[in-house]
Amino acid sequence: MATTVLSSAQSTVRNWWISLLIGILYIIAGVWVFQTPLASYVSLSIVFSVFIFVSGISQILFSITNKNDINNWGWYLAGGILDLIIGLLLMSHPLMTMTILPFYVGFWLLFQGFMAIGLSFQFKAIDVPNWGWLLFLGFLTLMFAFLLLANPVFAGLSIIYMTAMAFVSAGIFRIFLAFGLKKIKNDFS
């Protein structure tokens, strides 16, 4: 039987709350974007840059604190490092960021969506309830990512609303993931 990130019965997942925190941050970012659709594109790029950077740090901390408890913890670390690098690039080049923001957002969300889908199947394999919601939210995140990548010129309000919806769906996924991780922690403690 192949080992997965969450399949080891001996593993406990410490700091499950980091995923919850990331999910809440995603939802807050999504709501903020919805509430300020006419806000400057510059402020969206700055907020997004900082948000990706903070998300990367959180994910790196999660992977390091769970490296002894989760098989293949390096994938979490790789995702965190990718977010950290993208966040740094976005923060250091604000004018360039405004031009290519749809591509950054689209590819970042693609990675998040594929990660969500993979984790949902791992949850299914170990009988965590509500894994189907994780799968649905992963596909929803992918849909918004593909929409952004298919129409990068279609900036304006469309990118703002698609970005907001993607943040909210990714945030809900992270919250479901956190409670799934907490259940695993409680079941194997």
Q: Which two tokens stand for residue 148?
A: 């952004």
Q: Is the pLDDT of residue 55 over 80?
A: yes
Please tell me what DSSP assigns to residue 70.
S
**φ, ψ for residue 153 (rounded to 5)?**
-75, -20
Q: What is the pLDDT of residue 85?
A: 92
Report the Cα 189 to chain-centroid distance in Å. Answer: 27
Tell me the average pLDDT across 44-66: 85
Q: Is the pLDDT of residue 189 over 60?
A: yes
Which residue, among 31, 32, 38, 5, has the nearest Cα to 19 in the 3D structure? 5
**Alpha-carbon distance 130 to 59, whole Å?**
23
**Residue-averaged pLDDT of the chain:** 79
Q: Which two tokens stand for residue 129?
A: 């309830």
Q: Which two tokens stand for residue 99?
A: 């031009």
Tell me the average pLDDT across 127-134: 84
Q: Which two tokens stand for residue 105?
A: 């957002």
pTM over 0.85: no
Which residue, among 35, 33, 45, has the nearest Cα to 167 in the 3D structure? 33
| CA separation, residue 19 to residues 28, 32, 159 (Å) | 14, 20, 25
**pLDDT band at residue 81 under the 50/70/90 scheme:** very high
Range scoring the smallest mean pLDDT among 16-20, 26-30, 45-49, 56-60: 45-49
Report the Cα 84 to chain-centroid distance in Å. Answer: 12
Task: Spell out the domain ranges in the chain.
Answer: 17-188
Q: What is the pLDDT of residue 93?
A: 83
> Between 49 and 70, where is the model more confident?
49
